[in-house]
Structures are given as C-alpha cells and as structure tokens.
Structure 1
C-alpha cells in the first residue's frame, strides 16, 4: 500500500529538490527516499526506478525551461525577442543550476516524452528565429549555434570558470550583442 501523502508528483518534487541541492549527478533513489522519509523500495510504488524518475524530472525541467523562456519572449519579436530569450536562458541556468544540467538529456533522447519536451523547448527558439526569416534546416543550425554559445557561457559561469575581474554581465551582454547581430544583421547599430 502506498504511503499516505506520497504520490508520483511528490516523488518527482522530491527528485527536483535533490537536483536543486546536489545537481543532476546527485539524483539517486536513496536521496529521494531520504527526502521523502521512506525506504527506497517504497518509491517503486510511484516510479519505475531511477531511469524512469530521471526521465520524468528531465521532462518537467524542460517544460519549466520552455515556460521560462516563453514568458520572456511573449509579446516581443525580432532582435528584442532573441535578446530576451538569451537572457532568460542564462537566468534560468543561474537560478536553477542543478535543474539546468537536466536540460542536456543525452541519455534520454530516445524516450518519446523527453524528445517531445525537447521539441517544445526548441520550438521557442524556432519561433524567435522565424522573425528573422530563418526556418527549416537553417533554424536547426542557428538554434544549435545559439545554444552552444549560451550553454558554453553559462556552464563556465555556474562552474566558476570566469576568473578574470572584468564584469561577467558585461561579457554576456557582448555575447548577446554578437548573437543578435548575427541573426538580425540589419538591426545592429552603425
């Protein structure tokens, strides 16, 4: 019989709290069980093991990320929308560094739910790029370039990889300026 108060959602919430505290690598059934006050075998009444829990957490985080960047770009278009998307991307990763690690679900891409959540996240970038006339295969390549640039920056930032005293915020502003100018070349100041 499942423990009163324990549900699939409460197990997922506990898993996300573990990820917030210990990063994606810290997500174990033992950590979730400790957080929920049950023995590990009790979790199996609510989730089919660690891989299934990780996939559920990945989908939840990708959807959270999608909502975050969507809220940032809603009502905006063109260069402003792209800049807002990039700033929101960075803000999400800085606010939720453990969860952000789950947005790179290389092992889970074969899972249909994870793949669909990834498509929803990428869809926001595609919509922004469409404002620059970038669609289809070109949108895929542009999205990969944008993601690589911002992901690299934020991973260096959240891991303490920027050791020089100059402003990290200013460096990110310059990166955003470069990326926006590359997508919307006519918008760059002359």
Structure 2
C-alpha cells in the first residue's frame, strides 16, 4: 500500500535533507525509500531514478537560495542589501553544503525548468545590485564578481580550508566591505 502524503516534493525534500546530513554521500533510491518508509519502486512514481532525484534537489536548491537572498535584501538598498544577501548566502550555504554545491551548477541547456530557476537567481542578484546604478552592459560582470567573492569564501569555509586562528565572521565582514567598496566604484575609469 502506498504511503499517504508521499509527493514528489516530499521525496525531493527528504533527499535534500539526507544529502546535507551525509555531505552528499550515500544517498540513493534504496536509502531514500528506507527513510520514507516505502519500497524503492514506489519512488519511481515521483522521480525518474537518481538522475531525476538529483535534478529535483538541484532545482529546489537553486529556488531556495534565490528565495533566501531575495528575502534578506527586501526593503534594503545598496550596501545594506548586499550585506544582508551576503550573510543569507553564507548562512544558507553552510546549513546546506551538499545542496549548495548543486545550486552552483550552470543550467542545463534545453532544461527549461532549470533555465527558469537559474534565471530567477540571477534576477535576484541583479535586483540586489540595482542600487549601485551599474550600467546594463556591466551588470553580468558585477554579478559574477558578487558570486565569485561569496562562493570563494563559502567554498573554502565549507571544505575546512580556513585553519588560521582568526574569526571567520571578521574575515567575511571584511570581504563584504571590500565587495561593497568595489561596487561603489564599478564603472568608474
């Protein structure tokens, strides 16, 4: 008998939680089915095997990250928006390390759902950066700079690369301050 309330969203959410708990290791249809209390074949009604499960988690992760950034920056502008979004970015990425790695993937060409959710994430970044009045032709560069700065820090942090006896919070705050300083001068000769 199928489990009542089992939906694609529940399957994907549970897989995402398991990925974070296990740092991306050991999640497969069998372990997911066991966690959900169902037989593995019943999951195929909701996802197309492991590729479909990975895709579902990736789409969910991109959407959640976009939502976290947008929620953090709403009602704020310029430095306040960037700082709030940067803090939300780090918080989300460190709370969901395996999902974060999946969210950083470029969209698969021709996968309209992936292209749409990725475009939403980019639009959130553009909105956050809009207060700096960056010329449209420079916006992609500014968004890449924003992402590269935050991703570089978070990636090093989540892989344990920061071992020197210095507060990570202080270092991250300084990175954000450097980021906002650069954004103020963006487009100047």
Output the TM-score relative to the length of structure 1.
0.88
Mapping for residues 35-184 of structure 1, pairs under 5 Å: 35-106=35-106, 108=108, 110-184=110-184
- Deviation (angstroms), 1:27: 3.6
Corresponding residue pairs, total: 186
Note closer, same or farther for the CA distance 1:8–1:178 as it changes in structure 2 (3 Å cut): same
Deviations 1:53-98 (A, max 9, x none): 2112111111111111111111111121112111111111122222
- Deviation (angstroms), 1:26: 4.0
- Deviation (angstroms), 1:137: 3.5
Cα distance in 2 between the residues matched to 1:103 and 1:140? 18
- Residues 1:30 and 2:23 are matched in the alignment: no
In structure 1, the gaps of 5 or more residues are none
Output the TM-score relative to the length of structure 2.
0.89
Q: Is the 8 A contact 2:107 2:115 kept in 1?
A: no
- Deviation (angstroms), 1:108: 4.0
Cα distance in 1 between the residues matched to 2:28 and 2:110? 21
Aligned alpha-carbon RMSD (Å): 2.0
Note closer, same or farther for the CA distance 1:27–1:145 as it changes in structure 2 (3 Å cut): farther
In structure 2, the gaps of 5 or more residues are none
- Deviation (angstroms), 1:23: 2.9
